[in-house]
Amino acid sequence: MVHEMPAGTDDLVADLVEALGTDRVVAGGGARHLYARDSSIIEGGHSGPVCFPGSTDQVVECIRVAVAHGRAFVPRGAGTGLSGGAVPCNYPVVIATTRMNQIHEIDTERRIAWVGPGVVNLDLTRHLAGTGLHFAPDPSSQQACTIGGNMANNSGGPHCLAYGVTSAHVAAIEVVLPDASTVVLGEEVGDAVGYDLRGAFVGGEGTLGIATRIAVRLTPDPPAVKTLLLDFESIVDAAETVTGIIAAGIVPAALEIMDHKVIHAVEKFVSAGYPLEAGAVLIVELDGLPGGVAREVEIVEQVGAENRVGTVRVAADEVERELIWKGRKNAFGAIAHIKPGYYLHDTVVPRTRLAEVVAKVNAAVERHDLIVMNVFHAGDGNLHPLLVFDPREPGTLERVHAAGEEIVRISIEAGGVLSGEHGIGLEKRGFMPLLFSPNDLAAQQALRDAFDPHGTANPLKVLPTGASCGDVMSLPGIPEGVWV
């Protein structure tokens, strides 16, 4: 349902159109309904006018007009976020950066590319074909998600084990701050002088401003790559193999586990050749110099044998390697064969406690009469339990949210953290006190206030406030009358 927008919206829209042009501002009910949510299960968002700037100057104008009318603003990329970070609360101006999709500059010698925030993750690597370079962060949604969104949530992906999450690959950022001024955070080469404001901005989920140009570091293609698929009777054996591989001194490019239910869903969807009788499969990707990779393959096979591996399949060529990865990267789409809805969770636990935590998560979800499927970045303990359900069944969403809370508490009690790559957004802000002390949260609020003293940049996200997305209120530090 599309709600009536607050008084003064017609004047706001008129000023946005004057600043940007009629083709870059949409205020109809259909568009506002579409932009009222992202790919999370968070509901209740209310979008104001939606703007599609094509340049830094136009982002400046969006923010200038929004602030002049006492409105907050919410940056948005492709809408693939899973924590409600792009869900607009109480009719803010939504600033969609998807048309800022230019690859501005490629410097192969310095291994730097300047890109717009709307560049699709995989498109950058495709653009680099033949240069011997690629963009390393590879979320499962990389065919659709944008680099601006990756930076906002500090996204990872299967290959972040060896190469690091997005923050390790962002050198500098051009940012429009909430007062409509423009700054550059970080340096293309070397370290910036003074405080690491670039590091603070990455992972800020749009609460500190809007990135308009991003200098990303490019990674050399490895000279040799081997991808292995190991199958086991249980997740316990697969997890013990992960621990053994790391203990042997190997840091693979990727270590991914999928359980029995995911294996069956994937096989029906993409026919990746996964063994249907397995309780779990482990994908191991090794890269580096050919001799070193060959030796590491032997070690992985040995560690697998010590942990009751069934079979070890080493991809013979690039076609087979891509097929193994096609199964993993399409796991979330594959579950549509089972139920029409899913809640993809995201927590991190110590790697040595993976099997224990997965068992507790499975038991908790089953107590709520839901289906749970597990696929996760095992190398860094990043769990992604999939709660599969039909949202049309009465009471289902309440059970989903209750199970989600149990997953968070189980992970924190095991020494884990709230999120590995999806961000906090609206989904987990209420759980922040489980992980951070009042002093910790106050320090984070002080940092946010330094960037955004009036609280107009993506309000109600990340930090707990006691307000819900459906509330219309003046939060502390926000001038009287501002809609958040």
Tokens linked to 448: 């946010």
Q: Determine, yes or no, domain membership for 382.
A: yes
Residues 356, 426 within the same domain: yes
Given a contact cutoff of 8 angstroms between Cβ atoms, the answer to whether 206 and 283 are in contact is no
Q: What is the pLDDT of residue 190?
A: 79
> Which of 201, 220, 239 lies at the terminal end of a domain, its last residue?
220
Alpha carbons 157 and 153: distance in angstroms, whole number: 12
Residue 476 clears pLDDT 60, i.e. is over it = no
| H or E stretch covering 134 | strand 133-134
Classified as helix, coil or strand, 56 is helix
Rounded mean pLDDT, 392-400: 95
Q: What is the pLDDT of residue 51?
A: 98
Residue at token pair 């993506």: 458
Based on the structure, what is the number of domains in the chain?
Answer: 4
Residue 481 clears pLDDT 70, i.e. is over it = no
Q: What is the pLDDT of residue 399?
A: 97
- Which residue range(s) make up the domain with 66? 9-96
Write the CATH number for 263: 3.30.70.2190
Q: How far from chain centre, in Å, is Cα 302?
A: 34
In this prediction, residue 482 has a pLDDT band, given cuts at 50, 70 and 90, of very low
pLDDT tens across 241-262, in order?
Answer: 999 999 999 999 999 999 999 9
Q: What is the pLDDT of residue 337?
A: 82
Write the CATH number for 381: 3.30.70.2740
Residue at token pair 């094509």: 54
In this prediction, residue 471 has a pLDDT band, given cuts at 50, 70 and 90, of low
Q: Determine, yes or no, domain membership for 1.
A: no
Give the count of beta carbons closer than 10 Å to the beta carbon of residue 378. Answer: 31
Alpha carbons 26 and 340: distance in angstroms, whole number: 30
Q: Determine, yes or no, domain membership for 85.
A: yes
Q: Determine, yes or no, domain membership for 79.
A: yes
Alpha carbons 228 and 321: distance in angstroms, whole number: 8
Of 143, 188, 137, 128, nearest to 161 (Cα)? 137
Residues 196, 232 within the same domain: no
Write the CATH number for 189: 3.30.465.10
Q: What is the pLDDT of residue 477?
A: 33
> Which of 220, 239, 272 lies at the terminal end of a domain, its last residue?
220
Residues 247, 210 within the same domain: no
Residues 72, 151 within the same domain: no
Q: What is the pLDDT of residue 468?
A: 67
> Which of 186, 220, 254 lies at the terminal end of a domain, its last residue?
220
Residues 31, 114 within the same domain: no
Q: Determine, yes or no, domain membership for 471.
A: no
Residue 467 clears pLDDT 50, i.e. is over it = yes
Residues 181, 201 within the same domain: yes
Residues 199, 176 within the same domain: yes
Q: Determine, yes or no, domain membership for 121.
A: yes
Residue 466 clears pLDDT 90, i.e. is over it = no
Residue 32, phi then psi, degrees to nearest 5 = -65, -35
DSSP state of 424: -
Alpha carbons 289 and 305: distance in angstroms, whole number: 24
Residues 122, 168 within the same domain: yes
Alpha carbons 239 and 23: distance in angstroms, whole number: 52
Average pLDDT of the chain, as a whole number: 94
Residue 71 clears pLDDT 70, i.e. is over it = yes
Rounded mean pLDDT, 266-280: 94
Write the CATH number for 13: 3.30.43.10
Q: What is the pLDDT of residue 360?
A: 97
Q: What is the pLDDT of residue 473?
A: 33
Residues 375, 308 within the same domain: no
Q: How far from chain centre, in Å, is Cα 37?
A: 15
Q: What is the pLDDT of residue 248?
A: 97
Q: Determine, yes or no, domain membership for 370.
A: yes
| H or E stretch covering 10 | helix 9-20
